[in-house]
Structure 1
């Protein structure tokens, strides 16, 4: 997965730059999502991996499936990726593009994991604190994990805070063991 992300990043950055220049972030977002969905179809994934098919044959299948929804630039991306045997990274290209788009739009995605259901008041406080911390509109996904015992974990991209009771107990146990 990490290797595919490394492969995907330059393509996503190039598409992002192109879409910003043309003021077409939303259109590219949709087109990349569609291409990623097609590439993940089991039959298409098998075709992409099969060396018996040429890059042109694979691109023509994408073109046929997408129809009018495939732009000239989108076909260019497919051709470049197919020529370099990188089509298996299409879903990662879409994911990296969405991250770049969110950053440009000053939107951030966060995951908050708590031991119990988060109350409306807690959600308001967390939202305000995260919006201020990241100077952006933070879209928060709330999850529950009873194994945390108490407290919360917050993940925003590479940034994370583990304020769970489980984590604190583990740290205490490690300190006592020394």
Structure 2
């Protein structure tokens, strides 16, 4: 997975630069989401892995889905990724592009994992705190994980805080073991 992310980064950066220059961030976002869905489809993965499927047949499927797109940059992207056998990285290209787009638009995505569902009041306070911390509009995805026992984990990109009881108990256990 990390290898595909590394492969995807230059593609995402190049597409982002083109999309930004042409003021087509939303259009590219939609296109990359669609391409990601195609590549992620189990039937498509099986078709692409099938040794009997020719490169031309695989290419034709993408062209058919895009319905003869007139976008030269999109054609170039698919051609280069196809020639280098990197179509599997399209999902990561889409993910990285979305992260760059969110950063450009001063939007941040966060995941909050808690042992129990957060109340409306807790969500308001957390949203205000994260908006202030990142000086951006923070879109929060809430998840529940009862194994945390209590507390929360907050993940924003590479930044994370683990304030769960499970984490504290694990740290205590490690300290006692030393």
Shift of 1:48: 3.0
Deviations 1:90-115 (A, max 9, x none): 11111111111111111111111111
How far apart, in 2, do the equivalents of 1:177 and 1:41 lie?
46
Shift of 1:177: 2.3
Query: Cα RMSD (Å) of the superposition?
Result: 1.7
Would you say the 8 A contact 1:56–1:79 is kept in 2? no
> What is aligned with 1:32?
32
How far apart, in 2, do the equivalents of 1:28 and 1:145 lie?
34
Shift of 1:56: 4.3
Change beyond 3 A, Cα 1:7–1:51: farther
Gaps of 5+ in 1: none
How many aligned residue pairs are there?
178
Q: Does 1:81 align with 2:120?
A: no
Instruction: Decide which moves more: 15-24 or 168-177.
Output: 168-177
Would you say the 8 A contact 1:147–1:166 is kept in 2? yes
> What is aligned with 1:109?
109
Shift of 1:71: 2.5
Change beyond 3 A, Cα 1:87–1:33: same
Change beyond 3 A, Cα 1:70–1:148: farther
> What is aligned with 1:159?
159
Deviations 1:50-93 (A, max 9, x none): 45555444322211122155633211110111111111111111
SS at structure 1 position matched to 2:116: coil
Change beyond 3 A, Cα 1:115–1:41: closer
How far apart, in 1, do the equivalents of 2:130 and 2:59 lie?
42
Gaps of 5+ in 2: none
Q: Which runs of 4+ in 1 moved over 6 A?
A: none
Would you say the 8 A contact 1:59–1:75 is kept in 2? no
TM-score, length basis structure 2:
0.92
Q: Following superposition of structure 1 onto structure 2, how do residues 1-178 of structure 1 map, counting pairs within 5 Å?
A: 1-50=1-50, 53=53, 55-68=55-68, 71-178=71-178
Change beyond 3 A, Cα 1:6–1:79: same
TM-score, length basis structure 1:
0.92
